[in-house]
């Protein structure tokens, strides 16, 4: 029987890390070594492994993920049936969402990593790699966009968040839960998510977007500096359903006259409201001042969507159209 062909791309992360001469662990292994360490992969797929980067994931840049998206699209055009992207867990929720937006093909793209180093007792990398490959090789995973597979959970890119600094069970989808599980060696899907309209992978890296988390007593004095710093837009992680102190609302309104400003929430999950609270600094006040609701997207994901949407030089209406699908 012909095995599915999978493209493995390793970007680095703890899953590739071994003790470093300078102390601590650092990226060392490449995709080929990771694949060789899991002989069971040969029973799942024919794997071609490449290591475009060997970085800790905080040093990954969105533009590098745009390149990865292109490479995956080229791989699919060349006949690969699925792709597995291996990287550090710190930024998986961002990379997975970027790939979800950028890879147009319906073939599965799965992002995975590990919470424990490659030589740590109980290293979770090998099990995560095998589970990711099983999902990427599965026809059932087609049409679901990019998925994150860790600890046997299958998460949709739009929902997944890193929720713990240490545990192998660090990944959660607080809004909707995981959409499936890998059990007895096969993926089982309990929910299907529709694909959202994508953005082209050939349009270059996202424009710079500032991400601001609002806190009690913050008056917004930082906002006036943003246009002069070269930002093309801003995302505000506001309180609760989308609220800031009354005194900050006019400043956000002024900023929204100069660049698209998206209203997200600092709460772990749930949509930003649009028509419930009417006080100064409420979501009705802020949307009336031109802010764009992020819908259910986290601030991290909203920042990436806004940065990609603004690549063509678009402004307020382009940004609003991009977020309309996430309400
Ligand atoms: N700091 C590491 C990274 O993101 C964490 C990990 O991979 O789990 O590269």
Final residue in a domain of this structure, among 189, 222, 251: 189
In a domain, 266, yes or no: yes
Final residue in a domain of this structure, among 163, 189, 215: 189
Tell which one of 112, 113, 151 to mutate to probe ligand 1, the residue whose CB is within 8 A of the most ligand atoms.
113
- pLDDT at residue 249, as a whole number: 98
Pair 34, 132 in one domain = yes
- pLDDT at residue 199, as a whole number: 95
- pLDDT at residue 269, as a whole number: 97
- pLDDT at residue 88, as a whole number: 98
Pair 216, 315 in one domain = yes
- What are the start-end ranges of the E strands in the chain? 5-10, 17-19, 25-27, 46-50, 82-86, 109-112, 146-150, 153-156, 161-162, 171-172, 180-183, 186-189, 209-213, 233-238, 261-265, 292-293
Number of domains, the chain = 2
**Does the beta carbon of 220 lie inside 6 Å of ligand 1?**
no
Q: Which domain holds residue 144?
A: 5-189
Pair 229, 113 in one domain = no
Pair 265, 293 in one domain = yes
In a domain, 197, yes or no: no
CATH number reported for the structural domain that contains residue 73 in this entry = 3.40.50.1170
In a domain, 72, yes or no: yes
Q: Is the pLDDT of residue 222 over 90?
A: yes
Catalytic machinery residues: 14
- Which atom belonging to ligand 1 lies closest to the Cα atom of 56? 9
**Does the beta carbon of 16 lie inside 6 Å of ligand 1?**
no
**Does the beta carbon of 17 lie inside 6 Å of ligand 1?**
no
Distance in angstroms (rounded) separating the CA atoms of residues 63 and 5:
26
- pLDDT at residue 294, as a whole number: 98
Pair 166, 245 in one domain = no
Q: Is the pLDDT of residue 114 over 90?
A: yes
pLDDT over 70 for what percent of the chain? 100
The string of pLDDT tens digits covering residues 267-318 is 999 999 999 999 999 999 999 999 999 999 999 999 999 999 999 999 999 9
Pair 180, 212 in one domain = no
**Does the beta carbon of 56 lie inside 6 Å of ligand 1?**
yes
For residue 31, the CA-to-ligand 1 centroid distance in Å is 16
CATH number reported for the structural domain that contains residue 294 in this entry = 3.40.50.40
The string of pLDDT tens digits covering residues 176-213 is 999 999 999 999 999 999 999 999 999 999 999 999 99
Pair 34, 145 in one domain = yes
For residue 77, the CA-to-ligand 1 centroid distance in Å is 30
The string of pLDDT tens digits covering residues 97-106 is 999 999 999 9
Pair 181, 227 in one domain = no
**Does the beta carbon of 73 lie inside 6 Å of ligand 1?**
no
- Which atom belonging to ligand 1 lies closest to the Cα atom of 58? 4
- pLDDT at residue 315, as a whole number: 95
pLDDT-derived band at 1, boundaries 50, 70, 90: confident
For residue 89, the CA-to-ligand 1 centroid distance in Å is 5
Pair 134, 246 in one domain = no
Pair 141, 255 in one domain = no
Pair 185, 269 in one domain = no
The string of pLDDT tens digits covering residues 17-27 is 999 999 999 99
In a domain, 195, yes or no: no
**Does the beta carbon of 124 lie inside 6 Å of ligand 1?**
no
- pLDDT at residue 64, as a whole number: 98
């Amino acid at each position: 029987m012909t095995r599915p062909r999978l493209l493995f791309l390793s970007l680095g992360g703890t899953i590739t890390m071994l003790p470093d001469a300078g102390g601590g662990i650092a990226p060392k292994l490449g995709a080929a070594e990771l694949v060789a360490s899991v002989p069971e992969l040969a029973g799942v797929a024919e794997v071609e492994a490449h290591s475009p980067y060997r970085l800790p994931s905080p040093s990954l840049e969105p533009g590098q993920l745009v390149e990865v998206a292109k490479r995956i699209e080229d791989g699919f055009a060349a006949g690969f049936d699925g792709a597995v992207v291996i990287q550090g867990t710190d930024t998986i929720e961002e990379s997975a969402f970027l790939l979800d937006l950028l890879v147009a093909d319906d073939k599965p793209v799965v992002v995975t990593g590990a919470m424990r180093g490659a030589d740590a007792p109980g290293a979770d990398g090998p099990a995560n790699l095998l589970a990711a490959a099983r999902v990427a090789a599965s026809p059932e995973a087609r049409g679901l966009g990019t998925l994150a597979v860790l600890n046997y959970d299958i998460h949709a890119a739009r929902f997944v968040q890193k929720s713990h600094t240490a545990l192998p069970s660090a990944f959660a989808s607080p809004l909707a839960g995981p959409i499936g599980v890998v059990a007895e060696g096969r993926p089982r899907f309990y929910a299907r998510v529709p694909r959202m309209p994508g953005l082209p992978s050939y349009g270059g890296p996202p424009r710079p977007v500032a991400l601001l988390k609002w806190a009690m007593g913050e008056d917004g004095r930082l906002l006036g500096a943003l246009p002069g710093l070269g930002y093309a837009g801003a995302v505000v992680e506001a309180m609760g359903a989308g609220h800031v102190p009354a005194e900050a609302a006019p400043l956000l309104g002024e900023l929204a006259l100069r660049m698209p400003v998206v209203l997200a929430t600092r709460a772990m999950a749930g949509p930003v409201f649009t028509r419930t609270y009417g006080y100064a600094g409420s979501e009705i006040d802020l949307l009336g001042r031109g802010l764009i609701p992020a819908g259910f997207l986290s601030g991290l994901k909203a920042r990436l969507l806004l940065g990609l949407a603004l690549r063509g030089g678009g402004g307020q209406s382009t940004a609003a159209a991009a977020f309309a699908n996430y309400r």
